[in-house]
Amino acid sequence: MSHYQYSDLEVVPGRAPEVVPGSAPEVVPYYKENTYNTPLEKPRRICGLNPKTFWIVFGVCTVLIVGGIAGGVAGALASRNNSSSNSPDDSADTRTSSTSPAPSSSPSSTSTTPSASTPTLSTTTVVLPTATLLRDCPSSNGTVYDVSFGSTEPLSFRKFCNAGFRHVLNGIDVINAPTTSLNGCINACVDYNDKNKTAIASGDNQTCNAVCWRNTDYLDNINQIPGQCFAYTTLNTSSGFVVTDEVLCDSAAWINQRDL
């Protein structure tokens, strides 16, 4: 048997430098926030309001505007109908048709419809002072009544019972007032001439030279006004006055007419 010799020598690994894995910091990529998320949308707004609120406000405003226009048109039509009607009853009917609410069976409802019924008139009786009329006809017919006028000659008026004189001014009276007698009517005529003598002299006023005092006859005549004094101008000529059959009057004429 052969024998192999062994040596104590061992193979030593080589001592050449070895590449050691690098220990530098590792680069980690950075991703911006929401880079991989869907972009967030801002809430939709109309005039600063969200859509639901905007459409609610818009609807309310629309209803108010339409209601105001309809009310104005209805009011204008009602006003025109009221002004074009001449009859109170017709006016009441127009107001009722334009403003009356629909009939309701509810007992608690109230109606503002104007009443078309004829208004009730309230009257008050006023007792006026009474006066006693003094009539001297027929005994005074043709007599002369003198009115003192200072230191001058009295103004003389001749009386005529149930008679009158023609107006020269188509019925225009310078006096139309009540007196208690024919004499009182004559005195009122003289007083008018005295107060207006300047205007009469210049032709601005007419002379009072005749009077008609409504007597107490024919009281059933609707034109009779007992005690009313009418004074006016009548034609006075050299042949006298034109006397008429005015049965409602006791009259007098100024027979010595002159400038005062």
What is the SS3 assignment for 178-211?
ECCEHHHHHHHHHHHHHHCHHHHHCCCCCCCCEE
Give the pLDDT of residue 127.
59
Dihedral sign for Cα 175, 180, 181, 186, please.
negative
Dihedral sign for Cα 169, 174, 177, 178, please.
negative
Domain of residue 231, CATH code: 3.50.4.10
Give the pLDDT of residue 231.
97
Beta bridge partners of 203: none
Same domain as 231, residue 164: yes
Residue 2 has pLDDT above 80, yes or no: no
Q: What is the pTM of this model?
A: 0.52
Rg (CA), the chain: 60
Give the pLDDT of residue 95.
47
Pairing mode, strands 228-232 and 210-214: antiparallel
Nearest partner of 165 among 180, 192, 149, 185, judged by Cα? 185
Give the pLDDT of residue 257.
94
Same domain as 151, residue 245: yes
- Residue with the bigger pLDDT between 160 and 32: it is 160
Give the pLDDT of residue 59.
84
Give the total number of structural domains in the chain: 2
Same domain as 151, residue 81: no
Give the pLDDT of residue 54.
78
Residue 132 has pLDDT above 60, yes or no: yes
Same domain as 184, residue 246: yes
- Is 127 inside any structural domain? no
Same domain as 250, residue 149: yes
Residue 38 binned pLDDT confidence (cut-offs 50, 70, 90) = low
Residue 15 binned pLDDT confidence (cut-offs 50, 70, 90) = low
Q: Do 236 and 254 touch, CB atoms closer than 8 A?
A: yes
Same domain as 150, residue 238: yes
Percent of the chain scored above 90 by pLDDT?
37
- Is 75 inside any structural domain? yes
Exposed/middle/buried for residue 211 (C-beta within 10 Å: 0-12, 13-18, 19+): buried
- Is 24 inside any structural domain? no
How many whole angstroms from its chain centre is CA 16?
Answer: 128
Q: Final residue of a domain: which of 99, 120, 155?
A: 99
Residue 256 has pLDDT above 90, yes or no: yes
Q: How many CB atoms lie within 10 A of CB 100?
A: 12
Instruction: Count CA within 13 A, CB hemisphere, residue 256.
Output: 13
Residue 90 binned pLDDT confidence (cut-offs 50, 70, 90) = very low
- Is 56 inside any structural domain? yes
The range of the structural domain enclosing residue 81 comes to 51-99
- Is 11 inside any structural domain? no
Mean pLDDT calculated for residue range 148-159 = 95
Mean pLDDT taken over the chain: 77
* Both tokens assigned to 29: 């990529």
Q: Which of 37-41, 149-153, 197-201 has the lowest mean pLDDT?
A: 37-41
Residue 1 has pLDDT above 60, yes or no: no
